[in-house]
Amino acid sequence: MSTVIGIAFGNTTSSIAVEKDGKVEVIANQDGDRAIPSTLSYVNTDEYHGAQAKAQLVRHANNTITNFRDFIGKPFENIDVSNCHASAHPFNNDGEVAFKITANSEEILSVEEVVKRHLIKLIDSASDYIGKPIDGAVIAVPTDFTEAERKALVSIAEKANLKVLQVINEPTAALLAHASAGNHLPQDKITVVADFGGSRSDGAVIASRGGMFTVLATSHDYTLGGSNLDEVLIDFFAKEFQKKFNTDAKSEPRSLAKLRAECEQTKKTLSNSTSSTIAIESMAGGYDFHSTINRLRFEVASRSVFEKFTSFVEALVKKTGFDFLDIDEILLVGGTSQTPKIANALVNLFPESTKVVAPVTDTKAINPNELIARGCALQASLISSFEQEQIDESIEPVVTVAPHLTKSIGVQITNGTDKSDILTILEHDTALPIRKSKIVVAPQAGDALVAIFEGEPEIVVTRIEAPKKDESAPADDEESDWSEEEEDDEEIREKIVKAGKKLAEIGLEGVAPGAKIEVILNITKDLKLQVSAREIGGNGVAVRGVVA
């Protein structure tokens, strides 16, 4: 049994996890961090990693390397250097991205070298925890990582003595971890995975069909992340500082770095409690700074940023052409998802049928910081028993590219739970071939008709008239703003499935009234639909046929 781990390699933080006896454990590094900052710092002859390195941003910003993940495998002209403003600046080393470190002697570190050192530190932490050398890992990358960049990452890992079993997509890893933990892996769902990281946001709409995941759409925002919220707090406190001491805390890089570190901490505190204090000794001009902020004030100050998060998800859903009602679940990933306001805004935006999974809305939700690493660990343990050749063979397009149903297929029913007249058996966007069955009930009288239709989704809007307001009360200006909305008739939007194209009919004769009938749909490799129906426990034989 080989020792395999999952690595979530983020721009801001990285996590490592291991699966043991069906349980996934996220591994803390030597500092006790489970979200290990992807930061390396060089002071004199010492190398710092993780939180220790991040602390060096105040005093040795130029020798502290951050946000380097996105540079992997990219030429210098294609990289976005804006995230490295407050740390070591990348420079153009013959077209390649490199950092100049002047800690002890001047040293030029290529991105490969930096990533290699970072990975070595992560592996060390993992093998220290497990007590065995690490044989392999599954690493997750954002969906926009190109094939070449993935290969570059694998080759760097090889140099760090780490065998990469598979490189998987971050949103899928997160969804795998979430679905496995909740034991609802085989359920059919459309999930929006929104990954709000430290410096960027990634989103993906994923169809889960019987445990198989298909990414339907992705979107990325490279300027939206937790750092935007930090900026809001920095501005907020800098203004307060300016007012108190008439000193600009933002003009001095070191003061700014101190403020940034504390603001990040304050932001995290505000996710858990409703108010937080901030205290910085000798922040700027020799003045100590001490202040408090409550969550509401923070939320008001960063309203525009929160709106961006919400509209990011909204735009992503629109991209797929789905209605909000089609979305069964929104899974929030990344440290920024801890912020209550983001999850609450999404709850308000989406209908009740859409479940928003975040710590604030669901107490059982897994820490969004750890989802990706957990998913990687699960995948690693799944494939650890296979030969590398078998794994590589399985992720070839020949295997992964499969025909997907464009429309759902179901059986006609008379009294569904909603107003649908089709009970969906195979959802749209299900990978083929597939076999699935559902159990329905025979009518109380006579023989049963099993009619197979394609489903046509329809949004039914029912207007419920708002209860009449007391019209006699004179509405003043302020109230009228509110009442205008309330006076609107409440709309209830519902998604139902109507019968579309008829595919097949089966007549089941001689079934007992109210008997359970199993309807099996099977789409073969050559895309032929086989339908069969039989009475459970009855003595009637199954009726089956192939749709031509």
Partner 1 sequence: MSDTLPQLPSGWTAPEAFASFGSFTAPNKRAVEPVGPAFLAHARRTLHGRTWSEDEKIQAQENVIVADVVEEESEDEEGESEELLNHSARDWKTLDLYGALGLKRHRWRADEDKIRKAHRKSVLKHHPDKKAGQQDGFFKCIQKAFEILMDPTKRKQFDSVDSRADVLPPTKFNADNFIELWGPVFEAEGRFSRVQPVPKIGTMESPKEEVNKFYSFFYALDSWRTFEFLDEDVPDDTSNRDNKRYIEKKNFAARKKRKTEELARLRKLIDTAIASDPRIKLFKENEKAAKEKAKWDREADTRKAAEDAKKAAEEAAAAKEAEEKAAKEAKEGAKKNKEAAKNAKKKNKRTIRGSVKDVGYFGESSAAQIDAILSDVDALIEKFDDLELSEVAGKLAGVTDASTVKSVFTESATKHAIPAKFFA
Do strands 96-101 and 90-93 pair parallel, antiparallel, or not at all (unpaired)?
antiparallel
Q: Phi-psi category of 236—alpha, beta or left, where left has phi over 0 and alpha has psi -120 to 50? A: alpha
User: Is residue 454 a contact residue for partner 1 (CB under 8 A)?
Assistant: yes
Q: Minimum distance between the CB of residue 424 and partner 1, rounded to whole angstroms?
A: 10
In angstroms, the first-to-last Cα distance of the chain is 48
Please give the DSSP secondary-structure letter assigned to residue 337: G
**Length of the chain counted residue by residue:** 548
Structure tokens at 325: 């009602």
x/- mask, partner 1, residues 238-267, rule CB under 8 A, reads ------------------------------
Beta bridge partners of 276: 293
Q: Minimum distance between the CB of residue 27 and partner 1, rounded to whole angstroms?
A: 21
Contact 522/544 with Cβ under 8 angstroms?
no
Rounded distance, CA 135 to CA 383, Å?
12
Question: Measured from the CB atom, is 98 or 409 closer to partner 1?
Answer: 409
Residues 489-518 interacting with partner 1 (rule: CB under 8 A): 501-509, 516-517
User: Is residue 172 a contact residue for partner 1 (CB under 8 A)?
Assistant: yes
Binding residue for partner 1, selected from 272, 394, 437, 480, defined by CB under 8 A: 394
Binding residue for partner 1, selected from 44, 147, 399, 471, defined by CB under 8 A: 399
Rounded distance, CA 76 to CA 226, Å?
25
Q: Minimum distance between the CB of residue 316 and partner 1, rounded to whole angstroms?
A: 17
Q: What angle do CA 225, 49, 272 make, to 5 degrees?
A: 45
Q: Minimum distance between the CB of residue 150 and partner 1, rounded to whole angstroms?
A: 12
Question: Measured from the CB atom, is 279 or 527 closer to partner 1?
Answer: 527
User: Is residue 3 a contact residue for partner 1 (CB under 8 A)?
Assistant: no
- Residue 319 burial (C-beta neighbours within 10 Å; 0-12, 13-18, 19+): middle
User: Is residue 527 a contact residue for partner 1 (CB under 8 A)?
Assistant: yes
Please give the DSSP secondary-structure letter assigned to residue 438: E
User: Is residue 23 a contact residue for partner 1 (CB under 8 A)?
Assistant: no
Binding residue for partner 1, selected from 470, 525, 536, 537, defined by CB under 8 A: 525
Structure tokens at 462: 């029912």
Binding residue for partner 1, selected from 17, 88, 173, 316, defined by CB under 8 A: 173
Tell me which residue of 132, 95, 134, 104 sits closest to 41, measured CA to CA. Answer: 104
Q: Minimum distance between the CB of residue 178 and partner 1, rounded to whole angstroms?
A: 12
Q: How many residues bind partner 1 (CB under 8 A)?
A: 88
Residues 404-423 interacting with partner 1 (rule: CB under 8 A): 404-407, 409, 411-417, 423
Rounded distance, CA 337 to CA 340, Å?
7
x/- mask, partner 1, residues 346-385, rule CB under 8 A, reads -----------------------------x--xx--xx--
Residues 120-159 interacting with partner 1 (rule: CB under 8 A): none
Q: Minimum distance between the CB of residue 127 and partner 1, rounded to whole angstroms?
A: 18
Rounded distance, CA 119 to CA 139, Å?
11
Binding residue for partner 1, selected from 279, 439, 459, 466, defined by CB under 8 A: 439
* Residues whose CB falls within 8 Å of the CB of residue 271, separated by 6 or more in sequence, listed in order: 338, 339, 340, 359, 360
